Amino acid sequence: MKGKVWLIGAGPGDLGLFTIKGREILQQAEVVVYDRLVGESILNLIPREAECIDVGKRARNHTVPQEQINQILLKKAQQGKRVVRLKGGDPFLFGRGGEELELLAEKEIPFEIVPGVTSAFAVPAYNGIPVTHRHFASSVHVITGHKKKDQPLQLDYEALVRLGGTLVFLMGGAAIQIICEGLLAAGMRSDMPAAVLQQGTCAAQKKIISDIKNLPIKITKQELQTPAIFMVGEVCRLGNEFAWYEKMPLFGEKILVTRPKERSGTISCKLRSLGAEVLELPAIRTELIAGNKRLEEVFARLFHYDYLVFTSPAGVKLFFEELKDQKRDIRSIGTARIAAIGMGTKKELEARGLICELMPEIYDGEHLGILLGETCKAGERILIPRAEQGSAQIIAEIEKRVQVEITDLPIYRTIYEKPSELVDEKKQIEQGKIHMAVFTSASTVRGFAKATQGLNYETVQAVCIGRQTQEAAKELGMKTIVSQKATIDSLVEACVKAAQQECKKDEKS
């Protein structure tokens, strides 16, 4: 049985620029062959069970020769696998995509091409530079600046000067001085605007705008970071006037989100919308306790309870999924009043058509317990389906205030996730490349610690959703900032505040 190969362009790095089709196919892959230029947030989309092969091509250091990459794709497809060849940018723009298809076509292996957003246009756009403009350039020309080892760069500089449009050089970081000298010698005026755009669409994005005469001097004064795009043309002068990305409140911030994978989307999306580069490291996942006889017994007498109390969105989701699996519907809960610990849990209930009648102003177990203790009548019955290691505080606060019958029912356990080997978050924190980590519960703090053993946690800026989460982070020695409310919007605001505080420190130093 023959498999199939999908040649997918991953775009310039920003997850938001990865195509919908590319994402859908990647998440069904059995084998992924990927390059160095693929964004880390995109690598984190690869299914855990997929075989990952790093062919990490770098300038002058091809870890795996092109011919061997071609053979890998062929071999895996002949094994009947769904193979994704994941490449930065667009696979057909200096990506050697055509070479990789020749052998597949010869051997009659089916394949598809999924174009990617090319860095040639996306990176200038993120730096406020339009590659064409009616008053400055009516054409754009994309040129490879890559040269073979120990060989001169073969470019027709006179032809490039005559073109008169915008020149975009990809993979030309090491040859910028040579290209500038060649263009000047071919007659380009010395004050022609030029720019180097480094690590575009990511947190480390940086630009240097000058002219072709002085640009090489400026680059030597500032260490050039790759990948970098080199541009020449009148449009480069617009980079400062049209700058937009660096004006966003979280520009330059690389933020680690530790929330469970199924619940990380909302906060990650909000952080990205403010300019942050987001890496997701799901520190925990929730798992229904299998063969839970107590749960079956409770389901048989749900009408018995006066209150149903939920302490997490996961508890709501798993409780009602199991109710359905046991061939019972929503009517089983009878007239029980419903309480939730916070807004996320309340929304999960509302998604099932259930109205939350009780929710504390401060979203934690202590205040939920106080609210219930002050609301319930003596002798009433309360069911609390929650995590296996739930805090005892909620029950203690109820019992201080009223004599009731409480069924504390563990229905799920928290599992600490093993980190992906594709992205080394621990190393990036140590190198200062990740600027803060977001925690939505004490368990995510503990899961993060388990995933990053040996890390000096005093270097971690923790943004925490509540007091209990903050206390767990402080126990490890982390620097902490806590959101004013236990909501995602307030947590995002805390991230902005942390970024502003760090910016003020940098200005003082």
Q: What percent of the chain has pLDDT over 70?
A: 95
Give the Cα separation of 460 and 397 in Å (integer).
33
The confidence score (pLDDT) of residue 19 equals 97
Residue pair 233/192 in contact by the 8 Å Cβ criterion: yes
Q: Are 304 and 405 in contact (CB under 8 A)?
A: no
d(CA 505, CA 319): 47
Kindly state the greatest CA–CA separation across the chain: 93
How many CB atoms lie under 10 A from the CB of residue 360?
19
The candidate with the shortest Cα–Cα distance to 228, out of 159, 146, 298, is: 146
What is the number of residues in the chain?
Answer: 509
pLDDT at 62 over 60: no
State whether residue 50 is helix, strand or coil.
coil
Give the model's pLDDT for residue 59. Answer: 47
pLDDT digits (tens, 9 = 90+) for 282-338: 888 889 998 889 998 999 999 999 999 999 999 999 999 999 999 998 888 999 999
Q: Please report the domains of the chain, with CATH numbers, ordered by start residue.
A: 4-117 (3.40.1010.10), 121-246 (3.30.950.10), 248-283+417-508 (3.40.50.10090), 286-415 (3.40.50.10090)
H/E segment holding residue 160 = helix 157-163
With beta carbons less than 8 A apart as the criterion, state whether 472 and 493 touch: no
Q: What is the rounded distance in angstroms from the CA atom of residue 4 to the CA atom of residue 89?
A: 21
Q: Which residues pair with 214 in a beta bridge?
A: none
Q: Respond yes or no: is residue 207 known to be catalytic.
A: no
* pLDDT of 98 over the 60 cut: yes
Q: How confident is the model at residue 172 (pLDDT cuts 50, 70, 90)?
A: low
Question: Is there a catalytic annotation at residue 14?
Answer: no
Beta strand spans in 73-128 (E) = 82-87, 111-114
Which band of pLDDT confidence, cut at 50, 70 and 90, is reported for residue 174? confident
Catalytic residue (choose from 2, 4, 14, 35):
35
Angle between helices 467-475 and 442-451 (to 10 degrees): 30
**Average pLDDT score, the chain:** 91
pLDDT in tens, 4-49: 999 999 999 999 999 999 999 999 999 999 998 899 999 999 998 9
Q: Which residue has the higher pLDDT, 64 or 167?
A: 167
pLDDT tier at 506, thresholds 50, 70, 90: low
Cβ neighbourhood burial of 246 (10 Å; 0-12, 13-18, 19+): middle
Q: What is the separation, in whole angstroms, between the first and last Cα of the chain?
A: 63
Q: pLDDT higher for 439 or 172?
A: 439
Instruction: Give residue 282's pLDDT.
Output: 85
From the list 57, 87, 207, 346, the catalytic residue is 57
pLDDT (tens digit per residue) in 193-245 = 999 999 999 999 999 999 999 999 998 888 778 889 999 999 999 999 999 99
Evaluate if residue 57 carries a pLDDT over 60: no
Q: Beta-carbon neighbour count of residue 470 at 10 Å?
A: 21
Is cis: bond before 227, omega within 30 of 0?
yes
